[in-house]
Amino acid sequence: MLQVQLEVGPDPAEVGRARRWARSRLVGSGIRDDEPLAETLILLISELVTNAVVHTGCPAVLRMLFGPTGAAGAAGTVRVEVADASCRPPQQRHAAGEDTNGRGLELVDGLADRWGWQPEGAGKRIWCEVDRAAPLIQLPSHPGAQGAGDADRDVRKVSHAVTHLA
């Protein structure tokens, strides 16, 4: 298991620095910059670091943990963690229409294979994991699931968000 970390100050400009740092670490771990996995991880990192910086006003620590891969690069998990000094738990909101915020944890929930949070010292750690071999966006497969139109709209929202992160 390879672990790298970056200290992030309580300034919104730090989000861009965290993205640039993460891109270089992803390439160093064998995940090409143009892979969909890299774009998904950068979006997740951007959301979690933004939440820490904007909603807590505290410094944070960004960690990326790269699980071992099997033969021929099969499987393996990338875990992203953001720890901050605020004990306030994250709150998943549901943005409506033209709201300009409130979608961060919805994106994390939709893109990560798993996510959660836990207390850490006087603060907390929010984490998410993406399986390297898993499909990045899973469309519903049964009639009771989210409708195809909703899924298509979600894919467009994610594509739009990823395009604006660079």
Write the pLDDT tens digit of every residue in 17-31.
Answer: 999 999 999 998 989
Q: Are 43 and 165 within 8 A, CB to CB?
A: yes
Beta strands in the chain (DSSP E): 2-8, 60-66, 77-84, 114-120, 123-131
Interatomic CA distance for residues 60 and 52, integer angstroms? 7
Out of 27-31, 66-70, 84-88, 127-131, give the one with best mean pLDDT: 127-131
Name the amino acid, one letter, at 162.
V
Q: Are 140 and 151 within 8 A, CB to CB?
A: yes
Superfamily of domain 2-163: Histidine kinase-like ATPase, C-terminal domain (3.30.565.10)
Out of 53-67, 85-99, 102-116, 123-137, give the one with best mean pLDDT: 53-67
39 pLDDT higher than 70: yes
Higher pLDDT: 102 or 152? It is: 102
Half-sphere CA count of 121, side-chain side, radius 13 A: 7
Q: For the chain, which residues make up each domain, given as ranges?
A: 2-163
Name the amino acid, one letter, at 119.
P
Which two tokens mark 128?
Answer: 């998410």
**Predicted model pTM:** 0.74
- CA–CA distance from 62 to each of 103, 104, 131 (Å)? 20, 16, 19
